[in-house]
């Protein structure tokens, strides 16, 4: 199937383009970007022009920042194209609901991708937790923004989400592996004096069975980067490490074996999209984004020192 990639930035170069190239399902047939291109692939700088000239391309993968993404997605859907959305799927929940409604109206598939859910050990963690009684779950997601998001000023502007840009990856895993839904009770947000979005956050969730569920996000981490979820249950402690790439049960590495045949988060996303198209399906799970929206609504804002690159 032919696919067009809109936005040729770091995530597209590092993940999307190699995943499409290696996939038996997809052929990258066009790109849309003001600054980037792919050798041997037809390049456009105007999205409307691509939609008009390449009507043979039925699937659009959007790798733009969240704020402008709605307009592009809506245009694609109205043109009868199927749409794949990089995380987060939009700048607001209302935008995402509108896109899903529009996709249903035009009978096309739309996929809100959460790449961290496709990490190697997430499915195994979900299966192990399914019949356990959870006592406590602690998310620790701490990384260096200068290392992973250099020069990306949009993340500090309204709609950019700040530390929730990586934090939403943890929330996507949280909502995937827990057998029940949780919702936010309270939050503390550290917002640099010269920025619009938080650089750190602490979240406290309500669990229907009384378990303690908390999350700590920080973009000021130096040294070792930490992407960890620890779940204490009545039958032992499960720990996901390195964003879900590794798993431990009571400290024993690889105690659970994953049976996911594909290697890599983004190859699995593109395989999922191919399956959605084969069934005419829609996947717009917005639970991770609900938690971020609630944190920004409920969070107590603490002014912290200015942030400079």
Specify whether the CB–CB gap between 171 and 137 falls below 8 A. Answer: no
Q: Which two tokens stand for residue 244?
A: 């879900």
Which residue in the list 87, 126, 132, 142 is annotated as catalytic?
87
| Cα→Cα distances 273→203, 239, 283, Å | 32, 29, 9
Residue 11 CA, chain-centre distance (Å), reads: 12
Nearest residue to 290 (alpha-carbon basis) of 133, 93, 115? 93
Confirm whether 10 is a catalytic residue: no
Q: Which two tokens stand for residue 200?
A: 């750190």
In angstroms, rounded to a whole number, what is the distance separating the alpha carbons of residues 97 and 285?
A: 10
Nearest residue to 213 (alpha-carbon basis) of 181, 244, 243? 181
Question: Which residues carry out catalysis?
Answer: 87
């Amino acid at each position: 199937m032919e696919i067009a990639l809109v936005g040729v930035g770091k995530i597209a170069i590092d993940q999307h383009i190699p995943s499409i190239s290696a996939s038996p399902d997809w052929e990258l047939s066009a790109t849309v970007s003001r600054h980037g291109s792919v050798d041997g692939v037809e390049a456009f700088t105007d999205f409307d022009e691509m939609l008009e000239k390449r009507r043979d391309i039925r699937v659009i993968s959007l790798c733009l920042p969240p704020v402008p993404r709605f307009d592009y997605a809506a245009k694609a859907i109205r043109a009868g194209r199927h749409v794949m959305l990089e995380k987060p799927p939009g700048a607001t929940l209302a935008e995402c609901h509108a896109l899903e409604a529009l996709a249903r109206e035009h009978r096309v598939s739309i996929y809100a991708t959460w790449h961290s859910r496709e990490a190697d050990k997430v499915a195994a963690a979900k299966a192990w937790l399914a019949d356990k009684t959870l006592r406590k779950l602690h998310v620790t997601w701490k990384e260096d923004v200068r290392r992973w998001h250099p020069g990306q000023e949009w993340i500090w502007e309204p709609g950019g989400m700040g530390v929730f840009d990586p934090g939403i990856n943890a929330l996507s895993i949280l909502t995937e592996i827990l057998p029940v839904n949780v919702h936010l009770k309270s939050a503390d947000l550290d917002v640099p004096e010269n920025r619009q979005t938080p650089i750190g956050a602490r979240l406290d969730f309500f669990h229907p069975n009384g378990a303690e569920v908390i999350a700590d996000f920080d973009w000021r981490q130096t040294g070792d980067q930490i992407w960890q979820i620890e779940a204490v249950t009545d039958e032992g402690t499960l720990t996901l490490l390195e964003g879900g790439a590794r798993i431990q049960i009571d400290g024993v590495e690889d105690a659970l074996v994953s049976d996911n045949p594909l290697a890599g988060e983004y190859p699995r996303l593109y395989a999922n999209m191919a399956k959605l198209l084969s069934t005419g399906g829609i996947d717009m799970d917005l639970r991770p984004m609900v938690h971020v929206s609630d944190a920004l609504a409920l969070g107590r804002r603490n002014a912290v020192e200015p942030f400079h690159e």
